Amino acid sequence: MQLSSKFSGPIVRFATASVAAGLLTLGGCASSHKEMAQPSAAPAMDIVDTAVSAGSFNTLVAAVKQAGLVETLKSKGPFTVFAPTDAAFAKIPKNQLDAILADKATLTKILTYHVVPGKVMAADVKPGPVKTAQGSNLTVSVADGAVMVDKAKVVKTDIAASNGVIHVIDSVIVPQ
């Protein structure tokens, strides 16, 4: 599968355990997604516009803009995005989040780790490793009836966009 040039690059290991630990220990946010009801017709908005219109992904959208990935995520795709909400980002200590947002290379690697090339609907998800646009694999699993992406719980699935699908997760995930 071909990826946009914005998604190419080496796998990154994080040098500071505190950043990785802070990103992996974020809390839940399932109740903030009721405004994202599924339309019955084919979606007219791309992934970025769908996230903007939801109102609960403001930090994610700002990070996508900061990383220069808006054009890529508005392109034909298709993409599957595991999207942490504002509540998930709020669990990151402000100084750590500010440092990540200021480092475009690190920010891009984190964001592209949340993107899987292709459109993968919930019914098509199978446990195991999944190659991300960042280049490394994330792990999909089922634990106690919940679908997990690495250590993040999927709290809402199949939010259709014209160029892919969004699955909402309760944590920001980082490459290992």
Print pLDDT tens along the chain (176 aa).
333 333 333 222 222 222 222 222 223 333 333 344 444 456 689 999 999 999 899 999 999 999 999 999 999 999 999 999 999 999 999 999 999 999 999 999 999 999 999 999 998 888 999 999 999 999 999 888 889 999 999 999 999 999 999 999 999 999 87
Task: Provide the 8-state DSSP code for 43.
Answer: P
Q: What is the model's pTM? A: 0.75
46 close to 130: Cβ distance less than 8 angstroms: no
List the chain domain ranges: 5-27+44-169
CATH topology of domain 5-27+44-169: FAS1 domain (2.30.180)
Strands ordered across the beta sheet of 164-169: 115-117, 79-84, 164-169, 152-161, 146-149, 137-143, 128-131
27 close to 152: Cβ distance less than 8 angstroms: no
Cis bond before residue 78 (omega within 30° of 0): yes
